[in-house]
């Protein structure tokens, strides 16, 4: 419910067997300075200690459920359909928000009444615990998903126009953002990290991600553009693998252009 006409922020976390990091994710939401939020957790029927962690914070949740789903984007859609907020943020169970993010986001929406999507930058945490700042860039959307999805907040009304396409298993967020861009919705960039995302996850599946990206770009642009981007990615990855082999570590992550 809204309080004193304040903006209500809906936050959705989707999780499956995420006991390792889920509590950190939850705390990063609940410890924000801005309190007019509803927090929704969609669990995919976890078999580890995930549900026990959710129950520990049940009093602070607006809604949660644990049941099988058809993938991460199906789970996100479930959460969106339960959301009542003016704006929606989605943070997965491997990731977490930095301090005072909701305060900053709501101030932006209050000062920019026509903005539909606010997006920020992000830290990528490697398996070694190192962090690299990744910047979002609308100008590169024709090449790849250059918006950091964990740092995106979207006007809930836009989801009434389009939800995540569950035919895509890895890149439905890219399809969604391109659709909103192509339909002329207004984006606003916060030029600072809002979240931390751990390296790995579903989107790290290179071949499948490339296939879906190709299909999406063929839909919104041309097949010629899609083929060009696909071959450039393969060349870039080959160079990265050579550098990694020579260096014997993940130093390449910190070389601009090889994230």
Quick one: tokens of 238? 């080959």
Question: Which CA distances in Å does 31 have to 63, 96, 176, 218, 229?
Answer: 18, 11, 29, 42, 41
CB 153 within 8 A of CB 88: yes
Task: Read off the pLDDT of residues 54-102 as tens digits, 9 standing for 90 and up.
Answer: 999 999 999 999 999 999 999 999 999 999 999 999 999 999 999 999 9
CB 109 within 8 A of CB 186: no
Quick one: tokens of 242? 């050579």
> What band does 1 get if pLDDT is binned at 50, 70 and 90?
very low
- CB neighbour list of residue 31: distance below 8 Å, 6 or more residues apart: 99
Query: Mind listing the domains of the chain with CATH numbers?
Result: 9-200 (3.90.550.10)
Compute the mean pLDDT over every residue in the chain, rounded to the nearest whole number: 90
CA distance 225 to 146: 16
**φ and ψ at residue 191, rounded to 5 degrees:** -85, 60
Task: Read off the pLDDT of residues 155-195 as tens digits, 9 standing for 90 and up.
Answer: 999 999 999 999 999 999 999 999 999 999 999 999 999 99
24 CB neighbour count, 10 Å cutoff: 13
Quick one: tokens of 241? 């693998």
CA distance 101 to 193: 9
């Amino acid at each position: 419910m809204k309080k004193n006409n304040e903006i209500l922020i809906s936050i959705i976390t989707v999780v499956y067997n995420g006991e390792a990091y889920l509590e950190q994710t939850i705390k990063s939401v609940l410890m924000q300075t801005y309190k007019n939020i509803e927090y929704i957790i969609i669990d995919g029927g976890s078999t580890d200690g995930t549900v026990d962690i959710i129950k520990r914070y049940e009093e602070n949740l607006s809604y949660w459920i644990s049941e099988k789903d058809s993938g991460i984007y199906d789970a996100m859609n479930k959460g969106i359909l339960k959301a009542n907020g003016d704006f929606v943020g989605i943070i997965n169970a491997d990731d977490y928000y930095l301090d005072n993010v909701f305060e900053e986001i709501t101030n932006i929406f209050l000062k920019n009444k026509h903005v539909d999507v606010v997006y920020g930058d992000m830290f990528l945490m490697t398996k070694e615990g190192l962090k690299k700042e990744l910047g979002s860039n609308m100008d590169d959307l024709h090449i790849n998903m250059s918006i950091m999805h964990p740092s995106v907040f979207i006007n809930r009304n836009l989801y009434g126009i389009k939800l995540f396409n569950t035919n895509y298993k890895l890149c439905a967020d890219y399809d969604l953002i391109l659709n909103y861009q192509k339909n002329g919705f207004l984006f606003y960039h916060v030029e600072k990290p809002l979240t931390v995302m751990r390296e790995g996850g579903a989107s790290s599946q290179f071949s499948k991600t490339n296939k879906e990206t190709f299909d999406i770009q063929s839909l919104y642009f041309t097949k010629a553009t899609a083929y060009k981007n696909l071959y450039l990615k393969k060349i870039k990855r080959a160079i990265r693998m050579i550098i990694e082999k020579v260096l014997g570590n993940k130093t390449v992550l910190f070389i601009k252009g090889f994230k």
